[in-house]
Amino acid sequence: MQVLVIGGGGREHALVWKIMQSSKVEKIYCAPGNAGTAEIAENIPIAADDINSLLEFASENDIGLTVVGPEQPLVLGIVDRFEEKGLRIFGPNAKAAELEGSKAFSKDIMKKYGLPTAEYKTFTSAESAAEYIKTKNHPLVVKADGLAAGKGVLLCQTNEEALAAVETIMGEKSFGDAGNQIVVEEFLEGQEVSVLAFCDGQTVLMMDSAQDHKAAYDGDKGPNTGGMGAYSPAPVFTEIMRQKVRDKIMLPMVRAMQQEGRPYKGILYAGLMLTKTGPQILEFNARFGDPETQPLLVRMESDIIPLFEACVDGTLDQCPLKWKDETSVCVVMAAEGYPESYEKGKPISGLKEANALSGVVVFHAGTKKQEDKVLTCGGRVLGVTATGKDTATAIARAYDAVDKIKWEGIHFRKDIGHRAGG
């Protein structure tokens, strides 16, 4: 089988790396890919949101399965377009992907079907949002309704911060049209955990847990990013909690989407807050998380291709999912200035030395190849991922690898995995 992976980040490099291990796969293409995917797949210079060109490529190159990495092509309806042409593709269609494409839609579905989530209100005008905020006297979260690359969520401790967040999103249009509507919700306290599951419209097959580090700086300080690192499994996510999340959150949401005439196939990714009163849903995403995918896939023992195919075919109830009995940690190495403005085109050294370390895989994100050099080409540049018999070992291995990699203006957190006791 020939497989096409759509996207060019760390998540897609990890997907290509995992797919490559399947005996069912002969060749992998990645569009547009990065310097890391170029070493194990054939990069195709087509943007992830150029659906017409991707469709043409898949039709002409005997692609047996397409795997969509990022959220934007899903929300734009790439799955619908491919299926119309009789092409097999893994991911939710446009109606199902609205769970991520609109936070207001997602919250309304949760409310309608009684899923546990924070109290909220949606607004299409800054004035009405400001009036509502002034009636509150506790921390709030202000979210851009649409897609904002993981950065459209502003945590506000005071009313002043919340009003400033509204101005940032709706006034300054910092996230473009994603901020035409906003969601203002109560601030939840607890530990955050990411739960990803394979879905075929009816069955939910949950992956092991992971914890992401969203804030830019050590100690969970600074602005939200797309993610500065992650580890798996999360010790706080016990077997009892796992069953509760499956029965009270993941299955009910898949059933709700079926009820709404939006059957959900693909990856359902729940961002949860484990509060004193139980797990609460922060948001749903319609694809693999980044960087959670990196530590998850290095621990996944099962062949991933049969899982993708079962989601497409509706046979997921027949699939086992096995995990290696080890922990994993991914440290994101970013460009200085991320998540704000940053420079590109810096030469990277030490990649071979880092990759040669025991238990280490360096996944590329914002990189490109130029002649014999690898250059930085994005905010999040690398996802240095390591496995170990325990979290402390995995953390030590990951940071040993980080120390070997150099470029001008590196930024990374030095406390990834701290909540796991590492």
Q: Is residue 101 within 8 Å of 75, Cβ to Cβ?
A: yes
Distance, CA of 10 to CA of 33 (rounded, Å): 9
Distance, CA of 227 to CA of 263 (rounded, Å): 29
**CATH fold of 2-93, please?**
Rossmann fold (3.40.50)
Q: Is residue 99 within 8 Å of 284, Cβ to Cβ?
A: yes
**CATH fold of 191-318, please?**
D-amino Acid Aminotransferase; Chain A, domain 1 (3.30.470)
What is residue 229's predicted lDDT score, i.e. its pLDDT? 97
What is residue 315's predicted lDDT score, i.e. its pLDDT? 97
SS3 265: strand
Burial tier of 26 (Cβ tally within 10 Å: 0-12, 13-18, 19+): exposed
Q: Is residue 339 within 8 Å of 226, Cβ to Cβ?
A: yes
Distance, CA of 33 to CA of 39 (rounded, Å): 10
Q: Which of 150, 218, 236 is CA-nearest to residue 416?
A: 218
SS3 303: coil
What is residue 233's predicted lDDT score, i.e. its pLDDT? 96
Structural domain boundaries of the chain?
Answer: 2-93, 119-186, 191-318, 327-420
Cβ neighbour number for residue 134 with a 10 Å cutoff = 11
Distance, CA of 241 to CA of 263 (rounded, Å): 26
**Side chain identity at 230, as an amino acid letter?**
A
pLDDT in tens, 343-401: 999 999 999 999 999 999 999 999 999 999 999 999 999 999 999 999 999 999 999 99
Helix axes 10-19, 304-313, angle to 10 degrees: 100
**Side chain identity at 32, as an amino acid letter?**
P
Rg (CA), the chain: 20
Q: Is residue 293 within 8 Å of 267, Cβ to Cβ?
A: no
Does 422 have pLDDT greater than 60? no
Q: Which of 13, 19, 38 is CA-nearest to residue 300?
A: 19
Distance, CA of 266 to CA of 283 (rounded, Å): 16
Q: For residue 194, report the phi and psi dihedrals to the nearest 5 degrees.
A: -105, 130
**Side chain identity at 246, as an amino acid letter?**
R
SS3 220: helix
Degrees, nearest 5: CA angle 102-105-108: 150
**Side chain identity at 362, as an amino acid letter?**
V
**CATH fold of 119-186, please?**
Dna Ligase; domain 1 (3.30.1490)
Distance, CA of 349 to CA of 6 (rounded, Å): 27
pLDDT in tens, 258-314: 999 999 999 999 999 999 999 999 999 999 999 999 999 999 999 999 999 999 999
pLDDT in tens, 82-124: 999 999 999 999 999 999 999 999 999 999 999 999 999 999 9
Q: Is residue 184 within 8 Å of 140, Cβ to Cβ?
A: yes
What is residue 137's predicted lDDT score, i.e. its pLDDT? 84
Q: Is residue 416 within 8 Å of 213, Cβ to Cβ?
A: yes
For the segment 134-162, the average pLDDT, to the nearest whole number, is: 90
Fill in the DSSP letter of residue 318. G
Architecture of domain 327-420: Alpha-Beta Complex (3.90)
SS3 370: strand
pLDDT in tens, 192-234: 999 999 999 999 999 999 999 999 999 999 988 889 999 999 9
Q: Is residue 354 within 8 Å of 362, Cβ to Cβ?
A: yes
Does 421 have pLDDT greater than 80? no
| Model confidence, pTM | 0.95
What is residue 99's predicted lDDT score, i.e. its pLDDT? 97
pLDDT in tens, 17-61: 999 999 999 999 999 999 999 999 999 999 999 999 999 999 999
Does 1 have pLDDT greater than 70? yes
